[in-house]
Chain A
Amino acid sequence: MSDPSSTAAVAQLSKPSLSDQWAMVSVLWRRDLLKFLRRPSRLVGAFLQPIIFWVMIGGGLASTFSLKGAEGLSYEQYFFPGIVMMMVLFASIFGTITVIEDRHEGFLQGVLTAPGSRVALVLGKSLGVSSVGLIQAIAFLACAPFAGFSLLEIDWLTLMSSLVMGAVALSSFGFALAWWLDSSQAYHAIMSVLLLPGWILSGAMFPISPERELLSWVMTLNPMSYMVDGVRRSFYEASALPLGSTVSSSMTLDFAVMLGSAIGALLLSAWVVERSR
């Protein structure tokens, strides 16, 4: 304590710097991408799965689907933005459920004892999982011409910002759930009663119908509806958007909800992680 060499040592005990934080964010981000890109089996599965869902469910329901006011809209086209969002949701679920094991007996233990903060941990993991979801969603966009969308006419800015905000919101929410529940079984349960129904009731599979009051309410309150809306809007000129195909009435509202969800979910997971010590 009175040792003169301790002065230098005390100087070393500095608070985590911005570089420490960035190191943590980038390491977690890189790790998820590295693991995704290096597994050919995972890549093939990730790209085939949405096509199979789209062709099977889209084809199966095509003959029964009709939207009042937009009679020319095929179900394959209506369902397409929903599948794009599904890729982001699935990537978020599968990317964050692994946190439960990783945290107690895996790589994350080492991350937790590194100098960066837990907020950096949340951000890095969320960006890693989001990137994996984005890659899968974008790969599926190659099928857009088969749904009657021209790749050249897509509003890419709207599409990408919707996907990024949606991916960050869902992956951060998934992370918060995984950390808080701390049990894979409990996560699976929440996935089946909240996350998957949340996707079904987001306008991904069927449009909102005012006659079904309760369902309409749920769909209006569901943040995922606005993510699907944002993606859907990017495929059409504003004037060509099929009537009644979106939950919200304006793009501004969609963006406000998406941005709010992304920031809110990030803050929620940072809080959950911080209070767990």
Chain B
Amino acid sequence: MSTAILEVKGLTVRRGDILALEDLSFHVQEGEVFGLLGPNGSGKSTTFSVLAGLLRAQSGALHWRGEEIRGGDKRALREVGFVGQSPSLDPNLSARENLKLSAALHRVPRAERADRIEQMLQLAELVDRADELVSTFSGGMKRSLDIARALLHNPKVLILDEPTTGLDEGAFQRTWRHLLEQRAARGLTILLSTHRPEEAAQCDRIAFIDSGRVVACDSPAELQRLVSDDKLTVRCAEPAEAARQLSEALSLELSADDSAVTIKSEAGHELIPRIVEALPSGSVEAIQLSRPNLGDVFLHLTGASLSEETKR
């Protein structure tokens, strides 16, 4: 039987006049990868600040394996590894020194410390550079080391606030590979926030967060089912003109921007030949048929784009 390792009920956080979180609720099952997806400013980091004991909530409850703990309570932190948006590392110390201090801070048993640190350096792929100052590391290396630091004391739950922001594709893939390996190896529960649909798609379940509230919460597949239409992107030289011609010929729901016409349809594949025929020959550069991603679902549910800053 799977149990909720963490349950968040009716969390409300007010900062001055601003309601940062409003009656926010979700639960995380043991061993799952759970994501909070929302644009910047939607309340993801605030939620994590409460979970990590950095911030007190005005109302609401946190249940840790069924036991209620108050927001800002540090008792659950023994079982949590926390990775913030910027790495919790001292740039003027070496990778190994950072891990040593962190091991002492979390009271990793002395006899195990050297081994654990070595394992974590391997995990971060930093064995060769263990004794170099962190200030000389790239963003991706710092991120790997920070995740290793958070895993050092063998937490049950790893909380990551926007873990791959600013990473290139290679580092993004590597980070995810490490996270999923850790989950498989030790039954780690992973809770992360992101504004990237492709990252949210890696989760077992996602909560959409908008303006401090949970708008929807389910598996990526279930959420994607909420938007059934295919998305067709037609690249052409004059999208505005093409859009006019297409709406005359095919009466479709469409929109155009500087480079392409976007069409939503239930059966996109059937439309492709008709689109090509409806437009002057040679004017179509490319047609792409895609399933809506989680960003499209988010837009459908909230009317807000993930790439926009939420105005609060």
Using a CB–CB distance below 8 Å, which chain A residues touch chain B? 1-3, 5-6, 9-10, 12-16, 19-20, 23-24, 26-27, 30-31, 34-35, 39, 102, 104-117, 277
Q: Interface centre among B72, B80, B107, by most A CB within 10 Å?
A: B107
Cα distance, A26 to B89, chains bound together (Å): 17
Residues 1-59 (chain B) with a chain A CB within 8 angstroms: 1, 3, 52-56
The smallest beta-carbon distance between B75 and chain A, in angstroms, is: 5
A114 contacts B106, C-beta separation under 8 Å: yes
Assess whether B252 is interfacial by the CB under 8 Å rule: no
Cα distance, A216 to B82, chains bound together (Å): 52
Cα distance, A106 to B93, chains bound together (Å): 12
* Given A31-B90, A110-B105, A277-B55; A1-B79 close (CB under 8 Å): no
A113 contacts B66, C-beta separation under 8 Å: no
A-B contact pairs, 15 of them (CB 8 A): A6-B3, A10-B66, A12-B78, A20-B107, A26-B104, A35-B92, A105-B84, A107-B90, A108-B88, A109-B82, A110-B150, A111-B105, A115-B106, A117-B74, A277-B54
Cα distance, A221 to B27, chains bound together (Å): 56
The smallest beta-carbon distance between B148 and chain A, in angstroms, is: 12
Tell me if B's interface is mostly helix, strand, loop or mixed. Answer: loop
B54 contacts A113, C-beta separation under 8 Å: yes
Assess whether B67 is interfacial by the CB under 8 Å rule: yes
Interface size on B, residues (CB 8 A): 42
* Given A6-B65, A13-B67, A105-B86; A110-B102 close (CB under 8 Å): yes
B69 contacts A114, C-beta separation under 8 Å: no
Assess whether B149 is interfacial by the CB under 8 Å rule: yes
Cα distance, A150 to B154, chains bound together (Å): 55
The smallest beta-carbon distance between A276 and chain B, in angstroms, is: 9
Contact residue among A1, A2, A31 (Cβ-Cβ distance under 8 Å from B93):
A31
A23 contacts B106, C-beta separation under 8 Å: yes
A113 contacts B86, C-beta separation under 8 Å: no
Cα distance, A5 to B149, chains bound together (Å): 28
Q: A2-B66, A111-B88, A116-B105 are in contact. List 5 more A-B contacts (CB 8 A).
A: A3-B3, A16-B75, A24-B105, A31-B93, A109-B84
B64 contacts A13, C-beta separation under 8 Å: yes
Cα distance, A27 to B79, chains bound together (Å): 20
A34 contacts B97, C-beta separation under 8 Å: yes
Cα distance, A86 to B92, chains bound together (Å): 25
Contact residue among B74, B80, B97, B104 (Cβ-Cβ distance under 8 Å from A16):
B74
Chain B residue with the shortest CB-CB distance to A111? B105
A10 contacts B75, C-beta separation under 8 Å: no
* Given A27-B101, A115-B74; A106-B91 close (CB under 8 Å): yes
Cα distance, A12 to B79, chains bound together (Å): 9
The smallest beta-carbon distance between A66 and chain B, in angstroms, is: 46
A1 contacts B107, C-beta separation under 8 Å: no
Inter-chain contacts of B86 with A (CB < 8 A) = 104-106, 109
B105 contacts A10, C-beta separation under 8 Å: no
A115 contacts B91, C-beta separation under 8 Å: no
B69 contacts A13, C-beta separation under 8 Å: yes
Inter-chain contacts of B106 with A (CB < 8 A) = 23, 114-115
Cα distance, A27 to B106, chains bound together (Å): 10
Inter-chain contacts of A34 with B (CB < 8 A) = 93, 97
Contact residue among A3, A110, A116, A277 (Cβ-Cβ distance under 8 Å from B82):
A110
Cα distance, A19 to B149, chains bound together (Å): 20
B107 contacts A106, C-beta separation under 8 Å: no
Residues 199-245 (chain B) with a chain A CB within 8 angstroms: none
